[in-house]
Every structure is written in C-alpha cells, then in structure tokens.
Amino acid sequence: MNKYFNNKIVTIFGGTGSFGKAFLKRAIKYSFKEIRIFSRDEKKQNDLRLNYNNKRIKFIIGDVRDKSSVLDASINSDFVFQAAALKQVPSCEFYPLEAVRTNIDGTSNIIDACIKNNVKKIVCLSTDKAVYPINAMGMSKALMEKIAIAKSRNLTKNQTQITITRYGNVLLSRGSVLPLFINKIINNESLTVTDPSMTRFLMNLDQAIDLVFFAIMYGKNGQTIVPQTSATTIETLTKALLKIYEKKNYKINIIGTRHGEKKHETLMSREERFFAKKIKDFYIINSDTRELNYDLYFEKGKKQLKKFQDYTSENTNQLNVSQTINMIKPLIKNFDIEK
C-alpha cells in the first residue's frame, strides 16, 4: 500500500469530519507527497494543523457547493475522497434543499473537477440510507450515487475512475447515537430511545478507512463497494453501555421514531445483491451498463432474482450484549465528555 501511494497527492473533501480525521491519522503513515484537507471549518483545520505540525498536510478553506473552490483544490491530485455531506436525518428533513446543495450538487462539482484535472481515482462515500430511502438525507445520497454512476459511464480506462463506497453507522462518529448516550450516562441524565427493537449496522472508523483504501486500490469505474458487517438492536447497544459504565436501574425514556427514521437499514437491495460479487469482506456491485433500450427492461428480465433478498441490519449477523461491549469498549477510553 505504501508503494501504491508513494509520492502521490490525495485530497479529502470534508476532511475535518469524523472520517476525514480518521483518514488523516492513517494516511500520514504512508509516503504521500501531499495530503490536502478541504472543509469549511477553519477552527477544526487549525486544531489539526497544530496537532500534526506536518508540512505534507495542506489545509484548504472552501465549500463543495462552489465549483471554482473544488476545481482549485483538486489540481494535480492523484486521488480524491468525497466525504463532505449533510448527514443528520432530522436536519435534512427540515432543510432538504441544503442536503441537495451539499450532497448532490457538491458531489457533482467534485467529480467534474476531478475529470477536468485528470485525477486518477475518486471515491464517493455513501450510506445505507441511500437504499430504499425514506428521508431527505437518504434520497440526496441515493441521487449522489446515481450521478456518480452516470458520470462514470462516459469515462474511459485512461480517465478518472469513479467508485462509490456505502456503509452504515460508524461508532463514535460525529452526530451518531453512541456519543449522545455516553454523555447522558456520564452526566446522569435519562436515556432517550426511539425504538428498542430498531437495528443498525455497526462498524468503527478503522473499518471505514479499510473500506475506502480497498476501494481506492481495487475499485473499478462505476462500482459500488459494500462491507460485510454486523448489526445490533438499539436495546442491545443501550444494555452494553450501561454494563460498561456499571449502571443499574437506569431511567430510559422510549420516545418513538424520529423524523425520517427506518426501523432497519439496508446496505444492498436484492437487485444489487443479484449482481454483487464478494471479495474478502466486501461486496462489489458493478454499475448497470444497459442502454436506453426499453426492450432490455421489459422483455429480458432476471428470473433468478426471486432467490435473493435485501441485505439489511435485520438479517445480517446480530451482535449480542457481550459482543457489542467488546466492540465499543476499546473505542470509548479517550472519549471527550461534553459537560
């Protein structure tokens, strides 16, 4: 891997988010010539600058909604990761156009800039909420995927290669439920649970970084790469945390499902699963290369499709309380408590 990245330039859009910071921690170990961190957050950029004090890391203030901004940031880049997004489901429900401007228009701007600047590969980060989307966040990510795949169809092997990664909840990422629960437990506040039987895919940030590195090295143009991952119920996650913090008879309020929430998440539809190939711990979905010939849609179907089912957080491997504790306990040692 180090040989693959030797003397290369990488740009991370949304580089001060949870993924960007975890990626930087890993990337600085390799022999990249330059690592560019692009975001709107000057405070977080300055914190990273002071923390690393490394001349190979370049910080760029900008907005993915601005075409000229992303065009300048990606000049001479070999690899690009698009991690900039509005990800909070309730916020996107109330302000869907903001999700469109960042998740859809922003990604389109970045891909166009990569093509114009002859970037070798771009990996666009998506979410399980993009499959059968019921909320604005998921819908915007689903369209982001469609745009990336549509643009990939017009590219040759000698041009920019576009790959998508799609994964579920990342433990302790900004805005996720785990930091919320931990802060409430430490501050002796009652827990608010939407639906105890709700299931969610679980992975840590290192697993997310493994996925994107796999995508940048092995992903091909137009492919979507999905990790094989475990899941748990919100009830199991809650019990695991209370055991870790040795809390008994803790007050839990069941508040009901929030705006735009699913009971179970889906990482692959059954249609995608039919075309997916499994390599190591990943599913690789090739893009649909059919042309706009309606005969291909209405006269030539796939009878075997009925044998497949969606890949969801309900039918994947379910973690029990002990397994969930083993997964999250090492991650919360240095958790920053919000008073």
At residue 89, the pLDDT reads 87
At residue 290, the pLDDT reads 66
Contact 231, 96 (CB under 8 A): no
Identify whether 315 is part of a domain.
Answer: no
Average pLDDT on 107-123 reads 98
Q: Which of 87, 129, 151, 262 is catalytic?
A: 129
The yes-or-no verdict on residue 336 having pLDDT over 50 is yes
Confidence band for 50, pLDDT divided at 50, 70 and 90: very high
Give the range of the structural domain holding residue 13, as residue numbers without chain letter.
Answer: 2-168+202-229
pLDDT digits (tens, 9 = 90+) for 254-292: 988 777 788 999 999 998 998 899 998 999 999 876 666
Examine the residue annotation and report whether 262 is marked as an active-site residue of this protein.
Answer: no
Contact 32, 56 (CB under 8 A): yes
Percent of the chain with pLDDT over 70: 93
pLDDT digits (tens, 9 = 90+) for 89-102: 889 999 999 999 99
Identify whether 86 is part of a domain.
Answer: yes
Identify whether 46 is part of a domain.
Answer: yes
Identify whether 55 is part of a domain.
Answer: yes
pLDDT digits (tens, 9 = 90+) for 183-240: 899 889 999 898 999 999 999 889 999 999 999 999 999 999 999 999 999 999 999 9
Place of tokens 């990482």: 267
Q: How many CB atoms lie within 10 A of CB 297?
A: 10
Q: How many CB atoms lie within 10 A of CB 108?
A: 19
Number of structural domains in the chain:
1
pTM score of the predicted model: 0.90
- DSSP bridge pairs for 206: none
pLDDT digits (tens, 9 = 90+) for 120-170: 999 999 999 999 999 999 999 999 999 999 999 999 989 999 999 999 888
Identify whether 321 is part of a domain.
Answer: no
Q: Give how far the C-alpha of residue 334 lies from the chain's centroid of Cα atoms, to the nearest Å.
A: 23
CATH classification at residue 102: 3.40.50.720
**Mean predicted lDDT score pLDDT of the chain:** 91
At residue 294, the pLDDT reads 62
Average pLDDT on 63-82 reads 97
- Identify the burial level of 252 via C-beta atoms within 10 angstroms of its C-beta, where 0-12 means exposed, 13-18 middle and 19 or more buried: middle
Identify whether 240 is part of a domain.
Answer: no
Average pLDDT on 57-69 reads 97
Confidence band for 296, pLDDT divided at 50, 70 and 90: low
The CA-atom distances, in angstroms, between 83 and each of 55, 87, 256, 285 are 23, 10, 30, 20
pLDDT digits (tens, 9 = 90+) for 9-49: 999 999 999 899 999 999 999 999 999 999 999 999 999 99
Identify whether 82 is part of a domain.
Answer: yes
Identify whether 334 is part of a domain.
Answer: no
The yes-or-no verdict on residue 300 having pLDDT over 80 is no
Place of tokens 């092995």: 218
At residue 338, the pLDDT reads 45
